[in-house]
Chain A
């Protein structure tokens, strides 16, 4: 599954997948690959939440493209605090 995901990510990075298609493929792969048993209700709730996030992701991208200079957009800036923390 990891190889599938990497392939999807790679195709998306190269512009070969639309955001919608990318999203649907990644979400379904990841959901199927979870090692955690989900009830039908939980799966439905999760898919609903993910659908909302896909919509807000598209709005966020549109806002970012308009507000942030292209140079800053193309360069990763700032890092996650996850690894280090304090």
Chain B
């Protein structure tokens, strides 16, 4: 377990290292020890790595761990199928490489849903990670290990990927923050692509500061910040407009929005459903292409097989229409949704956090609606290419986190971070969300 005085943010650790309160060796030992111990308890690590902690770089001493979807030096990722394998031709993917160059040490690769194709972290061929909040709760996917590693304090931050919610859903289920970046904002070199038109690299962390540090480093396009001192924030009450969601969860979200949004607006259902439909068409068609050989050879997992089969049977016109209308719909979105709004607050979570028995395949109380509710609000955002930040903003009657998503214009991640920082400081304090595995020792 982490010692009680161990800082919760990268800035806190860097300050302790700079002041001499903690040595680099101590920081390395504490983090490696906790990472290994929690990995056993939570089944979250795929492969341990022995990268050295080195002095003199901006983030020297900071530990991270990333989804097992990126090429590493001489190693291919396992993609939730297995633990990967050595391959001399593999190069380190760009995003993890940028972090490493700044001194962040990758302690290992962490679990993911097979082929990044499930809203839960359930895996058939590897241990399924456990939720640090409560072990009977499901872990969302597909960046499941990233959320578990961050929530349990194993690392400060983790890179994940989001095709239809795969950063936001696991963040939601584990009560941490997840930033799905603008499509193609982060260079995907060295990342395995499942649906190239939708895949985005994202970041999970317990604090907005750490989200910001990692995001600024990996961003490969110019960042934009809205000029108004006061961000124009609006709430879409999708609970009401879609007639969906749990009443108690809706009440928590509405109470939060009442404090942080200038107004509530509706009339987004048409865009939501259209973009959501196109997202499904694009994803299923592209999965059918990227995974065709595995599906035909009987090697694909059930989720990939079902999605890919749909893609194989869909008329080609559907995909052409979905891709062909994308820019026009994105322009329409900017002209309507964002004409006078910087950030939309909207539901991410529709139901109380589901249990393992409700949403893992083959579970005794499997509930198809609970499973759908995990990702229903996500895919349309990927189709429109927008950045979205998932964040817990309250708790339900059981004391479990309730999360929303904040959505901005393409390239406006800094606006999201600015608003999220205000929210974080009000709700969690300036150091963000505390790890779910409490500290037990003194430094």
Is B306 touching A45 in the complex (CB atoms < 8 A)? Answer: yes
Q: When the two chains form their complex, are residues A34 and B309 in contact, meaning their CB atoms are under 8 A apart?
A: yes
B273 proximity list for chain A (CB < 8 A): 56, 59-60, 63
User: By the criterion CB–CB under 8 Å, are A31 and B277 in contact?
Assistant: no
Instruction: Judge whether A68 and B329 touch: CB under 8 Å.
Output: yes
Contact B323 A26 (CB under 8 A): no
Band of interface residues on A: 35 or more
Give which listed residue, B187, B193, B280, B286, contacts A53 with CB less than 8 A. B280
Judge whether B130 is part of the interface by a CB distance below 8 angstroms.
no
Q: Which of A23-69 contact B (CB under 8 A)?
A: 23, 26-27, 30-31, 34-36, 38, 42, 45-46, 49-50, 53, 56-57, 59-61, 63-64, 66-69
**Quick one: given A59-B277, A68-B328, are A46 and B309 in contact (CB under 8 Å)?**
yes
Count of chain B residues near A, Cβ 8 A: 45
A81 in contact with B196 (CB, 8 Å)? yes
Question: For the complex, what is the distance from the CA of A76 to the CA of B327, rounded to whole Å?
Answer: 9
Q: Mark B57-97, 1 if CB is under 8 A from A, else 0.
A: 00000000000000000000000000000000000000000
Q: In the bound complex, do residue B324 and residue A46 qualify as a contact, i.e. CB atoms below 8 Å apart? A: no
Residues 72-86 of chain A, each 1 if its beta carbon lies under 8 Å from chain B, else 0: 110011111110111
Choose among A36, A53, A79 the residue that contacts B295 (Cβ–Cβ < 8 A): A36
Q: Does B231 interact with chain A (Cβ within 8 Å)?
A: no
B270 to A63, Cβ gap below 8 A? yes
A1-B102 Cα distance, complex, nearest whole Å? 55
Name which of B15-23, B313-321, B422-430 contacts chain A: B313-321
Would B274 and A64 count as touching, CB distance under 8 A?
A: yes
The B301-342 residues at the A interface (CB cut-off 8 A) are: 306, 309-310, 312-321, 323-329, 331-332
B328 touches A72 (CB 8 A): yes
Q: B309 to A9, Cβ gap below 8 A?
A: no
Whether B312 pairs with A67 at a CB distance below 8 angstroms is: no
Question: Is B281 on the interface with A (CB-CB < 8 A)?
Answer: yes
| Inter-chain contacts of B313 with A (CB < 8 A) | 27, 30-31, 34, 46, 50
Contact A78 B187 (CB under 8 A): no
Interchain CB contact under 8 A, B309 and A36 = yes
Asked if B289 CB lies within 8 Å of chain A CBs, one says: yes
B295–chain A nearest beta-carbon distance, Å: 7
Q: Are A85 and B196 in contact, CB atoms less than 8 angstroms apart? A: yes
Q: Mark A6-24, 1 if CB is under 8 A from B, else 0.
A: 0001001100000000110
Q: Report Cα–Cα, A26/B419, bound state, in Å.
A: 48
Measured between beta carbons, the chain B residues less than 8 angstroms from A45 are 306
Alpha-carbon distance A59/B273, docked complex (angstroms): 8
B271→A63 contact, CB < 8 A: yes
In contact, A67 and B271 (Cβ under 8 angstroms):
yes
Given A42-B309, A49-B310, A63-B271; A26-B315 close (CB under 8 Å): yes
Nearest CB in chain B: distance from A69 CB, A: 7
Q: List 20 A-B contacts (CB under 8 A).
A: A9-B316, A12-B317, A34-B309, A35-B296, A36-B312, A49-B306, A50-B313, A53-B277, A53-B318, A57-B281, A60-B278, A67-B274, A68-B328, A72-B328, A77-B327, A78-B323, A78-B324, A80-B196, A80-B286, A82-B290
B interface residues (Cβ-Cβ under 8 A, vs A): 184, 187-189, 191, 193, 196-197, 270-271, 273-274, 276-278, 280-282, 286, 289-290, 295-296, 306, 309-310, 312-321, 323-329, 331-332
4 smallest A-B Cβ distances: which pairs? A81-B196, A78-B327, A72-B328, A26-B315
Additional A-B contacts beyond A31-B313, A57-B281, A82-B289 (6; CB < 8 A): A30-B314, A34-B313, A36-B309, A50-B314, A64-B325, A86-B191
